[in-house]
């Protein structure tokens, strides 16, 4: 096997491991940090079911962002949903053995690449042209968008222009990563660039602002039930204070 193939295979496992370990550690940190006070923000749901609905509206529809800025919502919502569709579109490559019927019908999802690029370009343009957003942007904010755009563009060139890599090799390489039956990479530079950037993106997930994905579920302003008067909410470190208290 070529050195390039070996390096990419190692990089893949390294990236996925960093991502899984990093995100797990972060989730453990969030989950184990107490929430001492009830701080749901309006419009706060009065029941647990209401919290589930609220969270679904935020995660699937980006409802707060919609209220805040229609343009940001449009770009951001298109980008995220296109990303989900393209993720599904990539599953057949990795599926070990016979591809299930449902995954074989995902071909047309490739067109999601265009709303993806549109959304990302819109978000990038806002960083350049809206003075408020420019002010709050760090280099990493631009670079992350550029990285995603570059991933999308290399994908588009391989799919819609005549830069096809050897698809047989792509399938066996990707499948081999899952089944540990490693095989040679296709040699096309554009393909190598595409997967290098994707692996890099996966690797930096837990040390970047991509932590908003697990974070949103832990946001106390969004995930708390507004029932403070009915049910006593108290954290361990706070209840300790009562042990030395004479009760008022």
Partner 1 sequence: MAKFDTPKLETYLKTPALKRDSMTGGGPFKANADMQKSLGFPGEKVDNWQQVAIEKMADTISKYRSLPVFLDACVKCGACADKCHYFLGTGDPKNMPVARQDLFRSVYRRHFTFAGKYFPKLVGAKEFDEAMLDDWYNYFHQCSECRRCSVYCPYGIDTAEITMAAREVMNAIGVGQKYCNQILGKVKKIGNNLGMPEPALRDTLLDLEEEIEEDTGVAVKLPLDKEGAEILLITPSADFFAEPHIDGLIGYAKVFHQSGASWTLSSYASEGANFGMFIGNYDIMREGALRIRKAALDLGVKRIIVGECGHAWRVAYSFWNTLIGIGGGAKDEYARQLQNQLDQNYPQPQHIIEYTYDLIQKGQLTFDKSKNDHRTVTFHDSCNVARGSNMGGIANGQFILPREVIKAACNHFVEMSEGTIKTSTFCCGGGGGLLADDLLELRVKGALPRMQALKQSEEKSGVNTLAALCAICKSQFTKVLPYYDFDPFMVVSVHQLVSEALILDGANSQQESKAL
List interacting residues with partner 1 (CB under 8 A). Answer: 26, 29-30, 33-39, 41-46, 58, 62, 64-65, 67-69, 72, 76, 123, 126, 130-133, 135-141, 143, 204, 207-209, 211-212, 215-216, 218-222, 226, 228-235, 237-239, 241-242, 245, 247-248
DSSP state of 210: G
SS3 180: coil
Distance between CA 86 and CA 107 in Å, rounded?
10
Min dist. Cβ of residue 7 to partner 1 (A): 23
SS3 230: coil
Cβ closest to partner 1, residue 30 vs residue 114: 30
SS3 239: helix
Min dist. Cβ of residue 179 to partner 1 (A): 32
Cβ closest to partner 1, residue 164 vs residue 218: 218
Longest dimension (CA), the chain: 79
Min dist. Cβ of residue 187 to partner 1 (A): 32
Cβ closest to partner 1, residue 113 vs residue 225: 225
Residues 6+ positions from 186 with CB-CB distance below 8 Å:
165, 166, 169, 170, 173
Distance between CA 190 and CA 167 in Å, rounded?
13
Min dist. Cβ of residue 52 to partner 1 (A): 15
Cβ closest to partner 1, residue 104 vs residue 134: 134
DSSP state of 73: H
Cβ closest to partner 1, residue 36 vs residue 196: 36
In degrees, to the nearest 5, what angle opens at C-alpha 39 toward C-alphas 33 and 44?
130
Min dist. Cβ of residue 204 to partner 1 (A): 8
**Nearest CA-CA partner of 221 in 44, 25, 94:** 44
Cβ closest to partner 1, residue 100 vs residue 220: 220
Distance between CA 35 and CA 12 in Å, rounded?
36
Min dist. Cβ of residue 237 to partner 1 (A): 6
Cβ closest to partner 1, residue 26 vs residue 110: 26
> What is the C-alpha end-to-end distance of the chain, expressed in Å?
74
DSSP state of 60: I
Min dist. Cβ of residue 34 to partner 1 (A): 6
């Amino acid at each position: 096997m070529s050195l390039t193939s070996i390096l990419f295979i190692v990089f893949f496992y390294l990236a996925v491991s960093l991502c899984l370990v990093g995100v797990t550690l972060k989730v453990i940190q969030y989950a184990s940090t107490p929430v001492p006070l009830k701080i749901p923000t309006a419009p706060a749901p009065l029941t647990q079911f209401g919290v589930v609905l609220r969270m679904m509206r935020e995660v699937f529809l980006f409802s707060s962002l919609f209220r805040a800025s229609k343009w940001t919502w449009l770009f951001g919502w298109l980008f995220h949903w296109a990303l989900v569709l393209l993720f599904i579109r990539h599953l057949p490559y990795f599926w070990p053995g016979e591809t299930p019927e449902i995954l074989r019908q995902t071909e047309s999802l490739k067109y999601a690449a265009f709303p993806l690029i549109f959304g990302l370009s819109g978000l990038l343009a806002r960083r350049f042209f809206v003075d408020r957003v420019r002010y709050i942007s760090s280099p990493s904010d631009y670079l992350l968008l550029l990285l995603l755009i570059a991933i999308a563009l290399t994908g588009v060139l391989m799919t819609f222009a005549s830069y096809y890599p050897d698809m047989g090799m792509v399938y066996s390489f990707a499948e081999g990563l899952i089944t540990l039956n490693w095989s040679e990479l296709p040699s096309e530079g554009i393909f190598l660039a595409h997967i290098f950037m994707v692996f890099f993106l996966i690797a930096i997930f837990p040390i970047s602002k991509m932590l908003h994905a697990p974070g949103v579920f832990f946001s106390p302003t969004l995930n708390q039930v507004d029932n403070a008067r009915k049910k006593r909410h108290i954290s361990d470190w706070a209840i300790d204070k009562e042990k030395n208290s004479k009760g008022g």
